Amino acid sequence: MDKKPFYITTPIYYPSGDPHIGTCYTTVACDSIARYKRLQGYDVMFLTGTDEHGLKIEQKAAKEGITPKEYVDNIVAIFKKLWGFMNISYDRYIRTTDDYHIATVQKIFKELYDKGYIYKGEYKGKYCTPCESFWTDSQLDEDGRCPECHREVTQASEEAYFLKLSPFADRIEKLLTETDYLQPANRAAELVNNFIKPGLDDLCVSRTTFKWGIPVTFDEKHVVYVWVDALTNYISAMGFYNNKYDDYGKYWPADVHMVAKDIMRFHAIIWPAILMALEQPLPKHLVVHGWISYNGQKMSKSLGNVVDPFILGERYGADAIRYHILREMALGADSSFSNEIMINRINSDLANGLGNLVSRTVTMAEKYFGGTLPTEREAADVDSELIAEAEALRANVDGYMDKYQLNNALAEIFKLVSRANKYIDETEPWVLGKDPAKKARLASVLYNLLESIRIATTLLSCFMPSTMPKVWEQIGAAESDVTYENAGKFGVLPLDVTVHRGEMLFPRIDVDKEIDELNALIGANAPAEEPKTEVQPVLPQIGIEEFAKCDLRVAKVLACERVKRAKKLLCLQLDDGTGGRQVVSGIAQWYKPEDLIGKKIIVVANLKPVVLCGVESNGMICAADTPDGAASVIFPDQSLPCGSKIR
Ligand code: MSP
């Protein structure tokens, strides 16, 4: 029987700097999904690649005195090395400088022009070079800067081609609000309210101010806008309008495009519009994840907090890094990377949890039976709960994988690991081992443990591909035992299975020593000096009883939106432990609603209500002044319950 196709893509990366742990996330997540689908028996096409055109690249290359192609070649080599190091099992790697891709983009541009969707006009507007995005005046932030990166924009006026988006507005709105295209679905509102409802402006899709792009065939002084060039990769890599590949009929429409939230708009609006104009089917799902920050700060080179996956991978193994970032990030929410949390997780889940389970089980099988279990068995009531959990695991993990909730899938697998460790404590095999009459019972206990390990690690191998084969070696599982089919069954290993004790899978890490060493490594990249700020004099003293009158507490942001006609204000709905609370805060210049939704913040809960721009505010969000005059919201420990008092 022919296998069912499954096509998954990462964004194609800008080769404009070294990849960091944040850039790894999507690729590691897609790789785990691709591996899971392969395990399930799908014919998987997993595509990744690099987005190599644009002014930014042209400028960087010029600065280094090399050609743009030489520049991207160098960085693409680093990306490929990283993907090898992280065990990324991509099936195809596309570079937008590849000839076949260029041919496809040119044909698509011409077709859309011939159909009247692309027309020539004059572009007058604001352009953000780092984001390679055009913005209308109404989209700029409070200071007239780019709404994405808040950097300077330049006024640009030139002859340009435009793509009509308005003919597709209704269909796109329906796609976002009435289908399961966008996941998580709650992101649809911001797209509809910010972009579709105000009216979809035509998109400027060509540039004449730089050369490093794909020329428009019928007007060679223009190059194609980098986003039209980039989005096309998803179909050019399957052979759409080129002779390099012939898989378009088989794999398109893609099952999943996975992207981070900052590039959702391009994939949720512009890409569907292009496909609609081409009369091609739309991808099935757009899965949008949040951002990984570093200890709550945005990862950036200038802050010296870019976490290097090579350094971490060499210290703890690529699998441990993969596990940590996948386990940490809930789909749709942001997550904060911290060395301390990562090391503690490696110790608790991998060293104490899985590693210990495997090593205790295998060691006991060797100690009591010389490595090969006898075939006699004796069941007991306590076995049934473990067996039932092991048998249910595959279906539970399937459920989460179908919803792309990788963190929950991993949590399920590790629940079984914990359950099996608890089973060791319940059954006390070291006591059974002393009693010759309990041999059959001991064999049952060890067999049940080996089976639980087999099932958990079969599924886990999609997330941690290099370690699990080492476990199988130790528990005596053959390749045919660790299939998807057998992950749904208990009792697959032969009764007289032979184990082989091997190396320790995840050595325990000395947390303090390791943190010091990592901080020293990161410190080496950090800016030399602590940032300075204008320090205000300390206010006159107050008594503790006066301070006690302030009700400061932890609250969770349940919802957040911009206040209409007030560029500085956000309106937040909070859970402060006593119920709902609405607060208006003047932080819209520095935070987008999605930066805050789901986060815990600190609120002054007993301020008298005020009305700001027509909206009632019941409290104030605590934020610190930054040296450059911005506000930095204070995020407390995110595990604190809502309502926790600050004292
Ligand atoms: N070239 C475009 C994508 C074109 S797709 C047709 C691009 N490239 S990028 O290199 O800037 O980013 C690639 C992906 O990495 C994006 O989804 C981006 O959001 C993601 N990430 C970059 N830093 C990240 C974190 N710190 N955390 C999570 N994802 C992050 O955008």
Single out the residue of 326, 378, 372 nearest to residue 350, CA to CA: 326
Q: 524 C-alpha to center of ligand 1: Å?
A: 25
107 and 208 housed in the same domain? yes
Is pLDDT of 139 > 80?
no
Per-residue confidence band for 528, with pLDDT thresholds at 50, 70 and 90: very low
Q: What percent of the chain is predicted at pLDDT more than 70? A: 96
* CATH number of the domain to which 571 belongs: 2.40.50.140
* CATH number of the domain to which 376 belongs: 1.10.730.10
107 and 248 housed in the same domain? yes
Beta bridge partners of 54: none
34 and 158 housed in the same domain? yes
* Mean pLDDT, the chain, whole residue set: 92
Is pLDDT of 525 > 60?
no
The 10s digit of each residue's pLDDT in 270-309 is: 999 999 999 999 999 999 999 988 876 777 666 666 688 8
What average pLDDT does range 619-645 have in this prediction? Answer: 87
End-to-end Cα distance, the chain = 66
Is pLDDT of 132 > 70?
no
Q: 259 C-alpha to center of ligand 1: Å?
A: 7
Ligand 1 nearest atom to the CA of residue 19, by list position: 10
Q: Which of 10, 12, 23 has the most ligand 1 atoms within 8 A of CB, as the residue to mutate?
A: 23
186 and 265 housed in the same domain? yes
Nearest CA to ligand 1 atom 24: 22
Report the alpha-carbon distance of residue 333 to residue 288 in Å, rounded.
Answer: 9
In a domain, 540, yes or no: no
The reported pLDDT for the residue numbered 589 is 84
283 and 354 housed in the same domain? no
Report the alpha-carbon distance of residue 286 to residue 185 in Å, rounded.
Answer: 10
Ligand 1 nearest atom to the CA of residue 299, by list position: 26
The 10s digit of each residue's pLDDT in 58-107 is: 989 999 999 999 999 999 999 999 999 999 999 999 999 999 999 999 99
Per-residue confidence band for 538, with pLDDT thresholds at 50, 70 and 90: confident
Is pLDDT of 261 > 90?
yes
In a domain, 504, yes or no: no
In a domain, 501, yes or no: no
Residue at 529: amino acid letter? E
266 and 398 housed in the same domain? no
Among the residues of 534-631, which ranges form H helices? Answer: 544-547, 593-596
If one counts every other C-beta atom within 10 angstroms of the C-beta of residue 636, the result is: 16
The reported pLDDT for the residue numbered 301 is 63
284 and 361 housed in the same domain? no
Structural domain boundaries enclosing 227: 5-289
45 and 159 housed in the same domain? yes
Handedness of CA 425, 429, 430, 435 (dihedral sign): positive
The 10s digit of each residue's pLDDT in 541-552 is: 888 888 889 999
Instruction: Find out whether the beta carbon of 13 lies less than 6 Å from any atom of ligand 1.
Output: yes
Instruction: Find out whether the beta carbon of 259 lies less than 6 Å from any atom of ligand 1.
Output: yes
In a domain, 319, yes or no: no
The 10s digit of each residue's pLDDT in 304-327 is: 666 888 889 999 999 999 999 999
Report the alpha-carbon distance of residue 308 to residue 327 in Å, rounded.
Answer: 19
Using the 3D structure, point to which of 271, 289, 307 is the last residue of a domain: 289
240 and 107 housed in the same domain? yes
Is pLDDT of 508 > 80?
yes
266 and 396 housed in the same domain? no
* CATH number of the domain to which 56 belongs: 3.40.50.620
Single out the residue of 15, 51, 94, 104 nearest to residue 213, CA to CA: 51
The reported pLDDT for the residue numbered 300 is 67
Least confident stretch, 31-35, 137-141, 218-222, 419-423: 137-141
For the chain, what is the domain count?
Answer: 3
556 and 471 housed in the same domain? no
What average pLDDT does range 485-495 have in this prediction? Answer: 98
In a domain, 99, yes or no: yes
SS3 assignment for 365-400: HHHHHCCECCCCCCCCHHHHHHHHHHHHHHHHHHHH
18 and 145 housed in the same domain? yes
Using the 3D structure, point to which of 274, 289, 304 is the last residue of a domain: 289
Report the alpha-carbon distance of residue 113 to residue 172 in Å, rounded.
Answer: 21
Quote the DSSP letter at residue 263: G
